[in-house]
């Protein structure tokens, strides 16, 4: 049974997606069926999602990402941790991100 994503997890994009920045927007393209909600669906990220995505380098924990973003967006670390964990959890559930422990 897969455990729930936690703030100490390290996430990286799935090898089954390609992400590109096009005209200031990050576009995520599934390469295989079963990624996301529908076959051949494209994903674009809002400003916050883009900031999180760019920091998911396979080395930083979600907590480290949240701490960096709390500074950048001048918000509290707990609020940022909740947002980062929610974002990563949803993208992990859809198969767009992969998570490991830290």
Q: How many domains in the chain?
A: 1
- Domain membership of residue 66 (yes or no) is yes
Domain membership flag for residue 76: yes
Q: How far apart are CA 20 and CA 2, in angstroms?
A: 29
Q: Tell me, yes or no, whether 101 lies in a domain.
A: no
Q: For the chain, what's the residue count?
A: 102
**What is the per-residue pLDDT for 31?**
85
Which residues form the domain of 77?
A: 12-94
Is 43 part of any domain? Answer: yes
Residue 102 falls within a domain, yes or no?
Answer: no
CA dihedral angle for residue 43, residue 47, residue 49, residue 53, rounded to 10 degrees: 90
pLDDT tens, residue by residue, 20-58? 999 999 999 988 765 655 555 788 999 999 999 999 999
Q: DSSP string spanning 77-99?
A: HHHHHHHHHHHHHHHHHTTSEEE
In angstroms, rounded to a whole number, what is the distance separating the alpha carbons of residues 11 and 90? 12
CATH of residue 48's domain is 1.10.10.1150
**pLDDT at position 33:** 65
> Of 11, 5, 95, 91, whose CA–CA distance to 45 is shortest?
91
pLDDT tens digit string along 6-16? Answer: 999 999 999 99
> pTM for this one?
0.84
- Determine, yes or no, domain membership for 1: no
């Amino acid at each position: 049974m897969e455990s729930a994503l936690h703030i100490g997890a390290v996430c990286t994009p799935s090898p089954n997606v390609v992400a590109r920045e096009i005209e200031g927007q990050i576009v995520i393209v599934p390469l295989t069926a079963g990624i996301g909600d529908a076959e051949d669906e494209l994903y674009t990220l809002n400003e916050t999602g883009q900031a999180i995505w760019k920091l998911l380098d396979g080395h930083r924990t979600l907590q480290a990402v949240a701490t960096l973003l709390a500074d950048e967006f001048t918000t509290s670390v707990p609020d940022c941790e909740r947002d980062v964990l929610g974002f990563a959890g949803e993208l992990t559930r859809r198969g767009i991100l992969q998570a490991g422990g830290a």
